Chains A and B, each alone.
Chain A
Amino acid sequence: MSDSPVITQGAMEAAHHEHPPYQRHHFETIGQQNDATNFAMWLFLLTEIMFFGGLFTAYLILRNWYYPAFVAASHQLNIVWGSANTAVLITSSFTMAMGVWCAETRRKSGLVLCLVLTFLLGLVFLGIKSIEYSEKIEKHHVPGFHYSIQSFVDPASDPVAAAYGDKPLALDMARKTELYFFLYFAMTGMHALHMIIGIAILGFMIFRARAGAYTMGHVTFVENFGLYWHFVDIVWIFLFPLLYLISRHQ
């Protein structure tokens, strides 16, 4: 080893290659650049999991403590809108995945179409979510703002609760439903915030895609955004059963 020229001698040919315009100066190869940005995106999603993890932990603990309140409160969620939204979101993940495929196979119009569809489906999701939120506002089920426990101490007065045959909760337990709705708003709100950010980026991407930016062979940005979009989708895949489904028949 001792007589091999070292350290100052390097990968000369790599350093003097012609680079594609999208390769950043500090990467040796475009493969290295793609690897690095992809890996960074996965790590970022890991931090996102930890961020949502705090809320899931709170949900786990509080649900264990105040089980009857969580059951009664979850009956107030609208299963029809919730299911519709799940379908919308899964479809948007499909269109996004198709978009990535179009970018990889350099189909510009296909990519623009897929991105526009994803964008629209994202908006539909938020629209449905706002309908659900307004239902909660009407029934005073927003924690902190004039929260009302009427539906839980007197279920007969509330058609939804009555339809489920809910039994009246003791005052003490009924007040814990506020925590359920806090978690509902915090978790779906944080999820919606991620959707809004995603939709904003999608809008930017549609313009860039129309200019052909992602169909010249460099698709990392579309791929990484796809990862983000699927991540936001998966968060919902956990939220939907936890908030809407698991107490349906109790």
Chain B
Amino acid sequence: MATRSGGAAKKRAEPDDELAAEIKQRAQKYRRAKEGAGGKVRSKKEAAAVGHARRRREEAAEAAARSEVLLTEQAGFLEAEGMERTYKFTQKQIADNVDIGSASRIFDLQLGEFGPYAIDYSGDGRHLLLGGRKGHLATVDWRNARLGCELHVRETVRSVCWLHNQTLFAAAQKKYAYIYDQSGAEVHCLRKHEEPTALGFLRHHFLLASTGMSGRVVYQDVTEGKVVGEHRSGHGPAHVLRVNPYNAVVHVGHGNGTVSLWAPQQSLPLAKLLCHKGPVQAVAVDGVHMATSGLDGRVKVWDVRALGVLHEYRTGRPAQSLDISQRGLLAAGYGPHVTVWKDALATRAGDAYMQRLLPATSVQTLRFAPYEDVLGYGHSGGVSSILVPGAGEPNFDALVANPFQTTRQRQEAEVKLLLDKLPADTIQLDPTFVGRLDPRSHAERQREQLAEGRARYAQDKADGKYRDGAVRNKTKGRNSTAKRYARKRQTNVTDLKKLQTMERMEKELRQAEAAKRPRPAHEKGALAQFYTEKARLDG
């Protein structure tokens, strides 16, 4: 009887099972990185708590997957039929086939006098900031074609960026960086940013990052004005800086073809990648991928977590600017051309998705507008905006970025953002490190450190760094006997210190192990401490 009724029940339950399986599968996106198991949980009570927490996490992921039905908007798309090719569609053709609201997103601003223009969209995509090389600064509510403020600073403007909302923006000018408010009044002159060329804002840390002709990477807290980090890259003038939104790491492109990754509290880069054979022209980052372009005419896509190259594309000329849209479209601007690739990051794309040519201009900066199917770019003749269907995230989270934000909501969001302002030292390559346990024991950590040190030492030795008396020759004028001697001494001193440290660590480790080893009977009991003392002195 059980089987009969069971069969009937099964038949009826099938759609439910399918739905449950689908939810489980969709929930994958919402499952956070696996939390470290951290070994066996000893206490029954704690094991129950851990199990409970795990179930709650799974439930939360499934609830999030189920809540997807509440997302009302569908992403845009552009599909070719028959012999058509998407990259052959012109903006006029697209404008004829979309609604009038979308068609009005296509425009060209003729601003030939003060170009080329650097641009930036505010976080909710509603406001556009223009910075003409020759000193023209303007903010626009671009969807409604409403000018916010406009001013001429009468000196070179190299880069512009919005701060946390549309009430403040920064401009990298000839000598310093400046902050202006929404009315165009100068609020601050940031003298710590000398000859800045590129700006980036870390929204959750309230840090303004810049790099410039000195090759330094400077971080300044815009809430209290403190410079929280100033690092020398050692690669000379840099012109490229982008912020990775996933972990707030700053990517700086250098003239020698490397891209270095910086955090404000570490004086050395977190990572350095040799990306191109010529100077790096542009960098674009989303959470997982980084696209770089160099004067060698390549556009390369990198996996930022594994720090390896995935694939490369070629552009007719070296790409001057790159950007990655919220839904993973890659755009490159070179000369008068703008090319957009679809599915070009995780996989290698074939043909371009869209292309546009604006004769007699050269692209300076291009940016996808957040939450819109729009790509804006500043060029020598002004600023243009084109439709790229499928670029923007259709469903915004109103508490993250709200394109329809009211003034009160903006004020409230500002307060919330300030309350949640993250300290500068929370920036790491892996942003999930916060609140994690290091499951290794102290001894294990030390052992690993030691092994690492030894390996490095061996590598250096093999490279001839410590070759006695074999200090390599330098260029003429820098090779005096005294300097050679100093160099030799320097390496030896470094060597000695390193060896001493390693020796000390080794000794400590030996002692820790000796303390753990089972003691013979005569060393136990009340007199044991004398043996411990002896062991310490011996060790």
A and B found bound together: no
